[in-house]
């Protein structure tokens, strides 16, 4: 499995601002994904980060709120825009080398005041 790192590991932000989260993989991977884990909850897929094209969003998530970049096969960013306290969550990126097996980064814990 690839090694995945995320920056920042945690942040506290004011409502109305935005936070950009970086995800770096130590090898080239075809597919990268972004998940959200709300407090005490399970993981929910936000979108698939596609290299060289727009991200594919799951139901309930939109590009204006969660813009995603994937400039190459090892890197992706997720921005959480116009923050509100309801956006306080852990945001995780993941990658899959084959089939359905997914490996996750350590997560970014966001608190919105």
Residues forming the site for other proteins (CB under 8 A): 1, 4, 31, 33, 41-45, 48, 58, 92, 94-96, 98-107, 109
- Least Å distance between CB 79 and other proteins? 19
- Least Å distance between CB 82 and other proteins? 26
Cβ proximity to other proteins, 60 vs 85, nearer residue:
60
Rounded CA gap, 18 and 91, in Å? 14
CB of 35 closer than 8 Å to CB of 55 = no
Cβ proximity to other proteins, 41 vs 82, nearer residue:
41
Cβ proximity to other proteins, 1 vs 84, nearer residue:
1
The angle subtended at Cα 68 by Cα 66 and Cα 70, nearest 5°, is: 170
CB-side neighbour CA atoms (13 Å) of 80? 27
């Amino acid at each position: 499995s690839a090694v995945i790192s995320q920056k920042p590991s945690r942040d506290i932000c004011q409502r109305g601002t935005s936070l950009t989260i970086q995800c770096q993989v130590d090898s080239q991977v075809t597919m990268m994904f972004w998940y959200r884990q709300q407090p005490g909850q399970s993981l929910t897929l936000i979108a698939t980060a596609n290299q060289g094209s727009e991200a594919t969003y799951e139901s309930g998530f939109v590009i204006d709120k969660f813009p995603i970049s994937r400039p190459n096969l090892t890197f992706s960013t997720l921005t959480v825009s116009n923050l509100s306290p309801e956006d306080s969550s852990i945001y995780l990126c993941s990658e899959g080398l084959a089939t359905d097996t997914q490996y996750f980064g350590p997560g970014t814990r966001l608190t919105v005041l």
